[in-house]
Amino acid sequence: MRPPTIPTLDSTNNPPTTTTPHIPETIHTPQSFLEMGIRIQHQQRVLNHKFDTNFDPEPHLYVKLHNEQDLLQERIDKFRALQRFYMPFLHLVLSKKELPRFDSDQYYPARTINLYLPSEISDSQKRHDACVAGLPELEAELRDAEVREAQYQIELATIKESLSLQKLKALGARDSKVREREQAELRRARVRKVLWTAHAEHAEVAAELLRS
Q: Which CATH architecture has domain 134-212?
A: Orthogonal Bundle (1.10)
CB burial of residue 189 (10 Å; 0-12, 13-18, 19+): buried
Q: Residue range 181-187: average pLDDT?
A: 90
Domains of the chain, residue spans: 27-133, 134-212
Q: What percent of the chain has pLDDT over 90?
A: 59
Residue 88, pLDDT > 80, answer yes
**CA distance readout (Å), 122 to 40, 174, 198:** 20, 56, 20
Predicted pLDDT of residue 152: 96
Predicted pLDDT of residue 59: 80
Its pTM stands at 0.78
Render pLDDT for 5-35 as a digit per residue (tens, 0 to 9).
333 333 344 433 434 344 444 668 999 999 9
21-25, 105-109, 156-160: range with lowest mean pLDDT:
21-25
Average pLDDT, the chain: 84
Give the DSSP H/E element, type plus range, for residue 17.
strand 17-19
CB-based contacts of 73: which residues, under 8 Å, 6+ apart?
110
